[in-house]
Structures are given as C-alpha cells and as structure tokens.
Amino acid sequence: MRILITGGAGFIGSNLVDYFLERGHQVVCLDNFATGKRENLTEALKHPGFTLMEGDIRNADDCRRAVEGCEYVLHQAALGSVPRSIKDPVTTNEVNVGGFVNMLVAARDAGVKRFVYAASSSTYGDSETLPKVEEVIGNPLSPYAISKYVNELYAHVFARVYGMECVGLRYFNVFGKRQDPFGAYAAVIPLWVKQMINLERPVINGQGEYSRDFTYVANVIEANAKAMLANSGNLVNKDGFRSQVFNVAYGGNTTLNALFDTLKGNLSRFNPAIATLEPQYGPYRSGDIPHSLASIEKARQLLGYNPQYSAEKGFELACEWYWQNLK
C-alpha cells in the first residue's frame, strides 16, 4: 500500500512511519518541521519505500502533492498542547482546522480509500462521565479542544456529502519514545523524565490528584493500523454514513502523584540518586480536566483493537529509552 502520514516527523507520526515501512508498504511523509524532527526519520530516510515531502498542511498545493497516488491518509499533523492554544488560538485554529480541511479536500479529490485522523480526548471537555464513552461529550475547555472537535464535525460532513470513509481516533495522553522533552509545551512524562535524569525536582500542577489514562505509543500504532483496514460496514454511524470516532487508550488511569513515583522508581534503577527526589507542587493549569479514563469497548468491538501495553509497561519502556537517549 501507499500511505500518506502527515506530521510523519513528529512523535506519533514517526513511529507510524517506521511501523508501515517495516511491513513493506510505501510511505509518504508530509511535515513542515515546526514541531517534528529530522532525526526522528533517520532510519526511514534510508528506506527505498520512503518519500519525504517538506510542506505545510496550511498550503493546499502541498496537501494535493503529498496525497497523490496514496490509498490511505493517516493525518497526525497538528499543533498540540492546551497551553499553547490558550496562548495562541489563531495559529492553533489555522493548523488544526484550516490544515485539516485542506487535507480532507486533497484526500477527497485524490480518491483515497480511507482518511484516518488523530482526534483527542480533550473533546470530552467538562463532561464528568467516567469512563469516557464516545457518544457523551461536554463543553470544550480550550481552543485546542475546540479545534479537535471541529475536525470530527468536518469528517462527518465529508462522509455525508462526499461519501468519504473517515475514522477519528481520540488519543488519550499518548507517551513513548521520541516524545519531545524540550520546549515550553513538553508533555508531562518526557518533561519529568528529563528533569529527573538531571536530578531536578518536577513541578506537579495542583495537588497531584488529577488522573490520566496514559497510553503507550505502541497501542496507538495498533489502533491506526486497525482503523485503516477495518471493515467498511463497521464504520457506518447512526446517520448511515462511514464516519466514526473511537477512544484510543489502555483503559486505566494514573494520578499525577502515582506517575511521579512510578517514573522515579524506574529511573532510579539507572541512578540511585533519583530515588531521593521529591516533587514541587504548583497551581492548577488552565484548561486541564480533572480526570480522564477511557472506555475502549467500541474500538474493541468494531476495530478489533486490543492494546498490548499497560501504562506501567509503557512507563518502564519509555524510561529506558530516555535514559539511553538523553544522557
């Protein structure tokens, strides 16, 4: 198969690139390197089946060139981070909404078989329902959350109006190798791991009782592969069109205090001095939801999704990777 992966130089995108190249497929990567890194593609660039297109999803021509001849699109390109979107909602909207529509149009015009895109658990907003089920969402709490929900609305409309097949994967706090620990908007796990390796005390926002359904990246790769090849009949929504969204998680939750203790325990195997670190506590972060726990039954039933990596196993693997790559 020939697959376009947008944002393929990013954390999740580059893991997808490697997965499909290893299985003998042709992969096109479209990335503008705003947040992606060329070093994430070091091995891919040696592969004869890999094509790198440096371009921007905000440019419709770039989208059209990238999707040409591709059978599937795995759309990962986006500006992540709730705090970033609060600081700069305009750019978040331009990339996450404008760029998304550009890719949908390009995929439609190229006649791709299926458009699979990265949705987000932030769509659940202020809904207090646990576990989170796809059909029950609340009010969004950030510009980022709005942008990802708008993606779902556009995908449903393109399925209805143009007959496209669209699958949204609501990622829950994905982590793992290549997630960037640097920069102002680094996610909590790589940020804390980097700080602990440097014997610095991480800051926990709030009292540490907030919890997340941390999801190891290998589970996300599996979900994309299953979504790409799922039976079309399993994508039919209540309105009769082929557009569905699925939670992608492990289906467990970890408090921030427990996360700190687990990461510290894993890393102290490499340096016993890390075991002496204690966290600092800071203010709650604007736009954060208190608790996140996914029901993955819909993805199990309709996609055959069966995540193999618990959060605990993922924490162990991630700590090993960062220890080898950040020292």
- Residue-by-residue DSSP string for 96-156: IIIHHHHHHHHHHHHT-SEEEEEEEGGGGTT---SSB-TT------SHHHHHHHHHHHHHH
Q: Measuring CA to CA, which residue among 173, 189, 180 is closest to residue 266?
A: 189
Q: Is 235 exposed, middle or buried (0-12, 13-18, 19+ CB in 10 A)?
A: buried
CA-nearest of 20, 17, 82 to 52 is 17
Say if residues 171 and 223 touch (Cβ distance below 8 Å).
no
Determine the Cα angle at 288 with ends 287 and 290, to 5°.
140
144 catalytic, yes or no? yes
User: With b meaning 16 or more CB within 10 Å and e meaning fewer, what string describes 74-92?
Assistant: bbbbbbbbbebbbeeeeeb
Q: Catalytic pick from 72, 117, 124, 144?
A: 144
Active-site residues, by number, are 144
